[in-house]
Amino acid sequence: MPNFDKVAIIGVGLLGGSIGKALQERELAKEVIGIGRYKGKLSHAQSIGTVTEATTDLAEGVAGANVVVVCTPVETVADQVAQVLEHVGPDCLVTDVGSTKEAIIRDICEKCGPRASQFVGSHPLAGDHNTGPDFSRADLFEKRMVVITPSDQNELEPTVKIAEFWHALGARTILLQADEHDAALAVTSHLPHALATALALTTPQELLGLAATGWADTTRVAAADSTLWRQIFLANREQVLAALDHFNVQLTALRTAIATDDGDKLEELLFEGKKIRDALGN
């Protein structure tokens, strides 16, 4: 079990706050320092127990850290990592929690040269449409999957250490190439978000009284933060567009079966979809 003198978390929201709480509850770190831009928000995050210390000074915050976790929106991750690497020692490892990986890793390699080897990308498949430290919990990562996306710059050792970091928080991990990650998540996460949003946009407010569980479930992720998701869609543009194209093929097949009154084909498609959904469980 890893044991750290100091872990720094940049961006103490739902994910950053949950990492902080988990590190403390599991007694994995002596000091958990939260770093952010706004003193008021940081004080609040500290007061509810997400971190042991807090600062708006990045250089001071990451100095002497064993691990730095960048939990800012995807558009800012690469810049944050570049700054962090200027202020930490050669043994410090840096990771992130961004929902897209290829653009982030490419930017970090460009900005940081050989020091990019200290960064190993992570994406915990946890959290939901609620954001902010008030929703953080120490068990957020328990039994959840974290995708780790080492780059060509990464040696085996830092990759294993970042995996161990997540295991220590209760998560499972899987290693994927960044582009494989982005293609997969375009289907399993970004596409559902686009559909949920488009379905909500299709629904006049006056019909909400007639929305039952099905509408509520299918649109739930549309309640997530619009600014964060704008960045995710644009950072993974090509893969999201490909996923939308694949989706349109399937929706068109359903539509055609309905339009042509082809009940057998329609039931076959519904049943195939049900089998895939059933394979996931609840």
218-257: contacts with a second copy (CB under 8 A):
218-224, 226-227, 229-230, 233-234, 237, 240-241, 243-244, 246-247, 249-251, 253-255
Would you say 25 or 238 has its CB closer to a second copy?
A: 238
- Answer whether 124's CB lies under 8 Å from 96's CB: no
Per-residue x/- track, 173-202, a second copy (CB under 8 A): -x---------xx-xxx-xxxxxxxxxxxx
The piece of 80-88, 100-108, 143-151, 163-171 that touches a second copy (CB under 8 A) is 143-151
DSSP result, the chain: ---EEEEEEES-SHHHHHHHHHHHHTT-EEEEEEE-S-HHHHHHHHHTTS-SEEES-HHHHHTT-SEEEE-S-HHHHHHHHHHHHHHS-TT-EEEE--S--HHHHHHHHHHHGGGGGGB-EEEE----S--SGGG--TTTTTT-EEEEE--TT--HHHHHHHHHHHHHTT-EEEE--HHHHHHHHIIIIIHHHHHHHHHHHHS-GGGGGG--HHHHHHHGGGGS-HHHHHHHHHHTHHHHHHHHHHHHHHHHHHHHHHHTT-HHHHHHHHHHHHHHHHHH--
Residue from 63, 160, 175, 266 that binds a second copy (CB under 8 A)?
A: 266
> Which positions from 92 through 131 interact with a second copy, judged by CB under 8 A?
125-128
What is the footprint of a second copy within residues 147-176 (CB under 8 A)?
147, 174
Closer residue to a second copy (CB): 152 or 206: 206
Name the residue nearer to a second copy (CB basis): 111 or 237.
Answer: 237
Least Å distance, CB 139 to a second copy, is 15
* Number of residues engaging a second copy in binding (CB under 8 A): 83
Binding flag, residue 274, a second copy (CB under 8 A): yes
140 is a contact residue toward a second copy (CB under 8 A): no
Among 145, 160, 177, 179, binds a second copy (CB under 8 A): 145
Q: Pick the closer one to a second copy by CB: 47 or 250.
A: 250
Query: Among residue numbers 39 through 68, which ones bind a second copy (CB under 8 A)?
Result: none
Rounded to whole angstroms, the Cα distance separating 276 from 274 reads 5
- Cβ nearer to a second copy, comparing 1 with 210: 210
18 scored as a contact of a second copy (CB under 8 A): no
Output 115 or 193, the one with its CB closest to a second copy.
193
Nearer to a second copy (CB atom), residue 157 or residue 205: 205
